[in-house]
Amino acid sequence: MSYGPAPWQQTQWDWRAAGNFVCGGAGGGLIVFAALSGARGLALAALLLGGLALVGAGLLCVWLEIGRPLRALHVFFNPRTSWMAREAFVASVLMPVALAAAWWPGLVWLAAALALVFVHCQSRMLQAAKGIPAWREPLLAPLVLLTGLAEGAGLWMVAQPAQAAQQPLLLALVGALLFARALVWRAYRRRLAAHTAPRALAALDGAGRWLQGAGSWLPLALIALVAGGALGAAMAAAALVVAGLLAAATGAGFKFVLITRAAFNQGFALAHLPVRGVRRRTTTPREV
């Protein structure tokens, strides 16, 4: 069924929209961790340019999704009420600032702040879709934000595992992000149970199991081993690469499922259905 009183899956946003959230969130998170890591020189430039490439890939996905690509500039018309317009404005500033920060490191914290705002805008875009129960849940906004930052942290560990192994405080922050993401996911899923289509819940449950097990608890265990000094240098770097890949890949998978498979509308909310042959009940003045 594509239209009617029962929930149906939206078809306006497909893999291209999912690509924006996957790439944009991971790219923004990577720029944030490029600043937090204290990298300098070519290492900093590589992280920033990698983050920008992902953000640009996400925006390209959005442009491909638009029915009339030549009207893409219309997205800037309504920033007062549209989180998509706000995302576009932030991206238009983030791109040149992060590019400049690759050569002038003094701008890296401004780029990180803009990247954080960019990911925040993405998280609010979904939550503003009130007709889709899996999206309108308020806990989705912090879940998407935490997922983007965790993906960026994972990519940072993949790109610089040896340096990451020598930064226990930053690894502790990554662990805290993964732990918070797992907790928010559980609360989010619990609140969806009563008013979300069974097919949407089934899709989310499959992605959620990966997000929690392989994407949160296993990376947390690997990070704990590295931070505790239980592994040698080579093994610690390899463990962080695995942890980073798992954190990033499961986050991307969750967002892809959220957009393409769990996005069921609530259907028509009809409190009273008309029945042929039954007289309509009228309200008397006394009842009013």
Predicted confidence (pLDDT) per residue in 139-187, tens digit = 999 999 999 999 999 999 999 999 999 999 999 999 999 999 999 999 9
DSSP the chain: --SSSS--B--SS-HHHHHHHHHHHHHHHHHHHHHHTT--HHHHHHHHHHHHHHHHHHHHHHHHHSSSGGGGGGGGG-TTT-HHHHHHHHHHHHHHHHHHHTT-GGGHHHHHHHHHHHHHHHHHHHHT-TT-HHHH-TTHHHHHHHHHHHHHHHHHHHH-HHHHHT-HHHHHHHHHHHHHHHHHHHHHHHHHTTTS-HHHHHHHHHHHHHHHIIIIIHHHHHHHHHHTT-S-HHHHHHHHHHHHHHHHHHHHHHHHHHHHTS-B------SS---TTPPPP---TTT-
pLDDT in the model for residue 174: 96
pLDDT number for residue 31: 97
Low-confidence ranges of the chain (pLDDT < 50): 1, 284-288
In the prediction, which pLDDT does 269 show? Answer: 60
* Amino acid 1: pLDDT: 46
pLDDT of residue 210: 94
pLDDT, position 63: 78
pLDDT of residue 132: 87
Position 246 scores a pLDDT of 96
